[in-house]
Structure formats: C-alpha cells, structure tokens
Amino acid sequence: MDKPLACFEISSQAVRLLIGYELSDGIVVVYTKEEKGSFLNPDGTLKDANGLIETLRTFQSINDENAKLHITIQEVCLLLPSCGLSVYTSQKSTVVVSPDYKVAKLDITNVLTQINKEMAPAGISIVDIIPDDFILDDGQRRSEPPLGLKSRTLAIQAKVFGLPTTIVHGYKSAVERAGFRVKQCAVAAYSYAELHKTYKDLPESYLLVDIGSDITTVSLIGKCSPYRAFNFARGGASLTEKIASSLRISLDAAERLKCRFGYDDRRISYNPPIVTGKNEKGVETQYFQQDLNQAIVEWVDDYLPHLNAAIDTTLKNMGNGKDSLPILFTGGSSRLNGLLKILKNHFQSRKLLVVTPRSIGARESKWSPLLGLVRACSHYRGSLEDGTHGVISVSRGDANNDGGKKGARRLKVKPSRDEDEII
C-alpha cells in the first residue's frame, strides 16, 4: 500500500482536497474536502490570489468530528489546469554511471535533466516530463524504468508538458504562500488520462470534454496520453444563469432545478409544475418541465458553436480518424440529466460517453482529476520533480490518546525524511 497523497485542485468555483493512495490499480480515498470561492479568470489565471491563499490555509489542519479524523498537511501534489497546454516530444541519452552498468535512478535523472535544459518557448514553463520509452543499448524498449538492468547507455523518449508561466507560477506561488510545499505538479488532462487508463471499458484515444462551472476544456487523448488542449469560457454556471433568466427565479432555485430535473422530454400523463417564477409582466407564474427543457435547449444552442470551435482547434492538422474519435464528457456539469440525448443529435458520427469516477468516497465527477493525480504521483516512472513519488508518511495516534477527542484518528501528511521509503 502506498502512503496517502494530499492533492489540491484550484477550480473556478472551489478549492478541493483529496487524500488517497493507489491500491491494485484503483484509488482508495481517505478524505475529501471542498471550499467554495471564485478564484480564476476564464483563461485559467488567478483573479483573487489573496482570497485563494486564505482559503488554502484552512486546509492545513483539518478536524472532522464526524469522521473522527485529524489531518495535518505540509506537502501536497498540485493539479494544474490544461488551459494553454503545450505538448512536446524529446529523446535524449546518457552513459550509465555505475561501474557495473546497472541502470539506477541517477541515470534517469541525468537524462531528464538534459530534456529539461531544452528551452521551452518564451512564456511557457515545463510542468512535467513523462517518459514513453526507456531505451537500452541493445535496442530494448521498456515502458517502465529499467532499474537494475545492464546497459552502457540509457535513452529516454518522453513527452514534455508545458503551460503558460503565469498559470504555473501563480498556482504554485499561492500554494507555497499558504504554507505548503508543492511536491509535484501535473496537468489536468494527463491526470484524467491516467485515471481513465484504469477503466478497461473506455477507449485509449478520444476527445475529453471537461465541462466545469465557468470553463470548458477540450483535450485530445491519444493512446492514453494527452497531446493538446483548448478551453473556452462557458460551463455549468452559464446554464444556471440561463435557467434563472428564462424562468425569472433566483440562481439558487435555478441550480436546484438543473441538478434535480435537467432535461426530460418524456411524455407523462401527470405533469405538475416544478417551480413558481414570474412572467414578462412580473406576475407569478408556474413553470413546468417543458419550460426547463426549453431553457436548456437554448443554452445548448449557444454552447455548441463554442464547443465545435474548440474541437476543431484541438484536432487541427490531425490525420485520418479525427471525425470518428469518441467524446468522453466529464466535469460536474456533464452530469446534467438528458445532456447526451441533446448532444447526440449534433454528434451523430461519434460515440458519446459520460465518465464518472468509480472510487468509493469520491463518486462525483468533480473528483476525477484529483483521483487521476493520485495515480499519476503514486509510482516512480521518472519525472521533472524530485522523484519522491509515494513518500508521504502516515501516523495514526492512539485512539484513546486523542487530546480529548475520543476515537479520533490522527493522520499527519508530511514529507518523508527516509529516502529508503521511496517506492
């Protein structure tokens, strides 16, 4: 069992924390927490850094009486948005330093350092380097680090993920100013791909449409790895606003209708009103499912041109097969009842799927990228970071010695000081 990892996501409407570990190709969730707040601009940059820092500080020490759990967090893995994602490929090699020519982690680090020294375009920061193949001097190619195998040279063919420097610096700076050490970063598209890789019923290549509250991101995933992404400023919040304006009700009431009913065009003999709003003259009026359906259809009609443009941009210069790639929808707004039924009329040549997480303790779509981040950071494959994958230590206090909180479990999430614990 790996040690739990504390993983942060900063979304447009919330900060989320998930603590979990990988077990038998699945993710075990220890704890989740969410704090609402509006922190991002439509391009993914921060708009309220100070407010974000104050919110992040509330995660340093967590006391959950219901779960009888106390958690102290010092070190985190950080999810970065796919906004402005650039993916490069590189291949470098090095001479194995060991006298017996056995490949060690130092050799992998040496090659990755060479790749990292290749300058990214101005304004782009390298987030991570993910090896696709480790190549030995006899031509063998391996997907996992060939630690302990003999070879005079080691080459690595890798994907390099880059993001706008303003995003990388802004997110990391906010988390560090809040008092945390950032152990590793990963891009959302890569985290999603890592999670979906464990679901054997899903395709290896697809378009991933992540419908968030304010931002939708379209990513091209090929052979379980991201290649490019494009985002636009539309999401579930704009649908809530559309319902509220169409039925002349509050945003809270519109959000409840959206989540409870969604789009439903079934013909039923009993058709009660679902909400009381106002008409154009300000007179109280009862509204029915068909009125909600109409508002949703009008929103989709406005949303689709933006989605189609993002898909076209993401698939630009791609070869044959781009028109048949399935589309996987994720994100909180993808769970809208009846959404796929509407979209199937517009994507008749594509298979459409809504993907929800399958980990106990985090079944909602909003937790998917953090579940993927746990997997991405749980095992050593070589990376831009310091290679301390899976080294968060866990200590559990005596259930009867809990500082007055009978039955409490104490988890201390911190950097490990024992290098031998690296998995």
Contacts of 24 (CB under 8 A, 6+ apart): none
3-state SS assignment for residue 263 = coil
Tens digits of per-residue pLDDT, 186-195?
999 999 999 9
Neighbours of 122 (CB within 10 A): 6
Q: Of 345, 353, 300, 299, which is closest to residue 325 (Cα–Cα)?
A: 353
Distance, CA of 185 to CA of 167 (rounded, Å): 12
Q: What is the pLDDT of residue 226?
A: 94
| Alpha-carbon gap, residue 396 to 112, rounded angstroms | 36
Residue 323 reports pLDDT greater than 90:
no
Mean confidence (pLDDT) of the chain: 87
Local structure of residue 200 (DSSP, 8 states):
T
Structure tokens, 150: 């003999």
pTM here is: 0.86
User: Does 301 score more than 50 pLDDT?
Assistant: yes
Report the alpha-carbon distance of residue 323 to residue 163 in Å, rounded.
27
Residue 11 has a pLDDT of 92
Residue-wise pLDDT tens digits, 149-188: 999 999 999 999 999 999 999 999 999 999 999 999 999 9
Amino acid type, 230: F
Express each pLDDT in 239-249 by its tens digit.
999 999 999 99
Planar angle of CA 25, 412, 2, nearest 5 degrees: 20
Per-residue pLDDT, averaged over 10-15, amounts to 92
Q: How far apart are CA 324 and CA 205, in angstroms?
A: 10
Q: What is the mean pLDDT of residues 48-68?
A: 89
pLDDT digits (tens, 9 = 90+) for 401-423: 444 444 444 444 444 333 222 21
Antiparallel, parallel or unpaired: β 124-136 and 26-36: unpaired
CA distances in angstroms from 212 to 49, 94, 99, listed in the order given: 20, 43, 52
386 pLDDT tier (thresholds 50, 70, 90): very low
Q: Which residues pair with 19 in a beta bridge?
A: 6, 31
Mean pLDDT of 363-383: 86
Strands 61-64, 69-73: pairing kind:
antiparallel
Nearest to 415 by CA among 180, 178, 185, 175: 180
Report the amino acid identity of residue 229.
A
Per DSSP, what are the bridge partners of residue 240? none
Residues with Cβ within 8 Å of 114's Cβ and at least 6 positions away in sequence, in order, are: 92, 94
Residue 322, pLDDT > 80, answer no
**Torsion angles phi and psi, residue 226, rounded to 5:** -75, 145
